[in-house]
Amino acid sequence: MEQLFINWLIEYGYIILFVWSIMEGETGLVMAGVLSHTGDLDLTTSIIVAGLGGFTGDQIYFYIGRYNKKYINKLLRSQRRKFALANILLNRYGWMVVFIQRYLYGLRTIIPMAIGTTRYSAKMFAIVNLIAAMIWATITIMFAYIFGEEILKVIHIAREYWYVALPLGMIIAGGVWYYFHKVTKKN
């Protein structure tokens, strides 16, 4: 089963990377960097595909916010503090928020939707978003490409000692989730 998954990554890697970049990104970009390090994917193509995927995802979220403002506000009522934070950041920092939103855990999908609900220029959002997506893809994939050997060693150790790696990974993921959930929750 594991070899089948690896074969799919190699055969359909760019398609998987594009779709993954639309939805989430970082994990897929790290995998693309490691596969580029091993020679299974082309580094430049991976960066372009991932950047276009990230750009596409944020454009989708932007236009969801732009054309479904009432529905978004109703649907994401529990996220209204994040929406308010996104609007405050947009008013204070302008286009820089479009640029840095990819690095803000928990706000990555909220910020483009929140920006879409405002009168922010769709053209300006698209331009800054494209540049930001390409820089994001380049930094993340290059990092994984450069440290590919070390990442492969960690994966090998995690596979060998899965009974330690799995609970440790769950604790770390839970801690990150708890921290960001607490930060965005009303005091």
Task: Please give the pLDDT value at position 119.
Answer: 83
Task: Please give the pLDDT value at position 185.
Answer: 62
- Report d(CA 46, CA 165) in Å as an integer: 28
What stretches in the chain show pLDDT beneath 70? 1-2, 5, 78, 105-106, 180, 183-187
Nearest to 116 by CA among 164, 60, 161: 60
Task: Please give the pLDDT value at position 23.
Answer: 85
Nearest to 25 by CA among 127, 144, 121, 179: 144
Task: Please give the pLDDT value at position 165.
Answer: 81
- Report d(CA 68, CA 75) in Å as an integer: 10
Task: Please give the pLDDT value at position 132.
Answer: 92
**What's the whole-model pTM score?**
0.78
Task: Please give the pLDDT value at position 45.
Answer: 95
Alpha carbon distances (Å) from 146 to 92, 138, 140: 36, 12, 10
